[in-house]
Amino acid sequence: MASDENDTLRSLYPFLHGRKQEPLAMNAALLEAVGEKVGRHRDVIGTFFAKNAQAVIDAAGAIAAMYQRGGRLFSMGNGGSSCDASHVAVEFQHPVTAGRPALTAIDLSADRTMLTAVGNDVGFEHIFVRQIIAQGRSGDALIGLSTSGNSKNLVKAFIKAKEMGLTTIGLAGMSGGAMATIGLDHCLIVEADSIHRIQECHVTIYHILWDLVHSLLADDRGSLSVAARE
């Protein structure tokens, strides 16, 4: 096994071994790498949903209930997960499926003036909690994404959100980190060690959450649409 791995590494990085790339060997090695990554992608997603399908449904139910009582969804994340936080918000605000209402969702990662002001003045770990204090209210919900589960600024915001009566939903990876220990209402953990595979599974999770929420709100669709216009 070790010999096969060494051969693959030599094919991918021949310059490290004093050789030039051989195009055919390089292409074969890249094809193998693609196949391995796609296979791992399928394994991670399949394993997560085999274990956590009901937990995903439960989290969707909590978000739907939040909207039914007039609440708002907040999202947060760092780095690549901040892009996911934005993606979560736009999915709910701008539904791509005809006939589904736009629902309030606020990305706490989006306001660079607020982020840099708080980060500069009092510290990066406060960038989300300050926004939750200012904008959150009992009955809202907060969803946060972290591949490690250990992002201090997410943990601090989650703890404050719980104190304020918000529903808390975490998407984490690896062993769940600190997010698995602070008593979130819903903590969906992708038990993998690759950041990329975790992030790919997170995308699938929140796409499914979005779809399930709208299915659960189907009976309220008319009243929600009227509320959105008002």
Do the domain assignments include residue 39? no
pLDDT band at residue 227 using 50, 70 and 90 as cut-offs: very low
pLDDT in tens, 178-223: 999 999 999 999 999 999 999 999 999 999 999 999 999 998 765 5
Do the domain assignments include residue 56? yes
pLDDT of residue 228: 43
Look at 2-16, 36-50, 106-120, 190-204 and tell me which has the smallest mean pLDDT: 2-16
Do the domain assignments include residue 149? yes
Do the domain assignments include residue 200? yes
pLDDT in tens, 15-30: 566 666 678 888 888 9
pTM listed for this prediction: 0.85
Angle at 170 between CA 224 and CA 110, to 5 degrees: 70
Find the DSSP H helices in the chain: 2-12, 23-68, 80-93, 112-121, 129-135, 152-164, 195-216, 221-229
- The answer, yes or no, to whether residue 125 has pLDDT greater than 90, is yes
Do the domain assignments include residue 80? yes
Total domains, the chain: 1
25-46 average pLDDT score: 93
Strands 141-145 and 105-107: unpaired
Do the domain assignments include residue 14? no
68: CATH: 3.40.50.10490
pLDDT in tens, 144-158: 999 999 999 999 999
Do the domain assignments include residue 184? yes
| Distance between CA atoms of residues 165 and 109, nearest Å | 21
| Distance between CA atoms of residues 27 and 10, nearest Å | 13
- The answer, yes or no, to whether residue 91 has pLDDT greater than 60, is yes
Question: What single DSSP character describes residue 13?
Answer: -
Domain with 56 in it: 52-229
Do the domain assignments include residue 93? yes
pLDDT of residue 106: 98
51-58 average pLDDT score: 98
Average pLDDT value for the chain: 91
